[in-house]
Amino acid sequence: MRLSRLGFVCLSFLIAMTGCGQSTDTGGEAKVAASKPDAGAQCAFESTKDNSPLVIKAAASDTPQAKEFLQTCINPYTKLYANDPEAAKEGKKKFGYWSCTQCHGPNGDGQVAVSITDDRWQYAKHITDKGMFETIAGGSNGGMFAWHQQIANNAELLPTDDILKIIAWLRTQYKGEGDKPWLN
Ligand code: HEC
């Protein structure tokens, strides 16, 4: 009796903890079966290729926004751009600068490769900025390169901040139906 009471208390505590962890995440995050609640102040990224840990460290040159994202999994540009079309242009500029346009078209609507602005996601986790970041940063088995400079081990490629700006702009271009969990 005693033991089972203790077990119950522990369980309730655990559930409460999980709840706390998720409240700092986007709402959609909870629906993504593959990702676990993040421990501590580090966003635990997972490779889209094989779900292995995708390790991205804060760099000295990172912006405060990039550092925040690496801790919280929340892209601070997404809400900003949703309310400020002028600011969002910065993300569109990066999308062109890094030649994402070559495969996805000038507005991300799909050219050679898939559209990013409709509600057909290549991977269900793309409804969160964390999930989309994992595919852009670490690549996929279906034709996306790893674009993050740390993952590709190439300083000429994208820093965290550029990927976040691109994602936030892509969200403003969304033409699909339904919820926009990235704004939660
Ligand atoms: C060489 C062509 C090519 C280039 C260049 C390219 N992509 Fe992709 N991208 C793809 C392909 C192919 C897929 C589908 C991947 C899959 O299904 O695994 C994809 C998928 C994606 C997705 C997921 C879309 C969805 O609907 O779920 C995102 C987001 C994305 N790319 C962003 C980018 C960004 C940002 C850049 C520039 C930094 C970029 N891509 C450059 C070929 C490309």
Can you give the pLDDT at residue 41? Answer: 77
Q: 77, 102, 104: which to mutate for ligand 1, most atoms within 8 A of CB?
A: 104
pLDDT at residue number 51: 97
**% residues pLDDT > 90 (the chain):** 75
**pLDDT value, residue 178:** 85
- Which residues, 6+ apart, have CB-to-CB distance to 50 below 8 Å? none
pLDDT at residue 54 above 60? yes
> Nearest-CA neighbor of 104 among 94, 117, 119, 87?
117
Q: Is the pLDDT of residue 23 over 80?
A: no
pLDDT band at 16 (very low <50, low <70, confident <90, very high): very low
Q: How confident is the model at residue 19 (pLDDT cuts 50, 70, 90)?
A: very low
- Per-residue model confidence as pLDDT tens digits over 133-148: 999 999 999 999 999 9
User: 31-50 pLDDT, tens per residue?
Assistant: 444 444 444 579 999 999 99
Query: Is the confidence at residue 26, as pLDDT, over 60?
Result: no
From CA 69, how far away is CA 57, in angstroms rounded? 11
Q: Which of 50, 114, 156, 162 to mutate to test the pocket of ligand 1 (most atoms within 8 A of CB)?
A: 114
pLDDT of 22 above 50: no
Instruction: Quote the tokens at residue 74.
Output: 């929340």
Measured between alpha carbons, how far is 154 from 138 in angstroms, rounded to an integer? 13
Residue nearest (by alpha carbon) to ligand 1 atom 24:
116
- What per-residue confidence (pLDDT) applies to 139? 98
* Chain segment 75-105, per-residue pLDDT in tens: 999 999 999 999 999 999 999 999 999 999 9
* Atom 12 in ligand 1: residue holding the nearest Cα: 143
Please list, in sequence order, all residues whose beta carbon lies within 8 angstroms of the beta carbon of residue 143, skipping any fewer than 6 positions away: 113
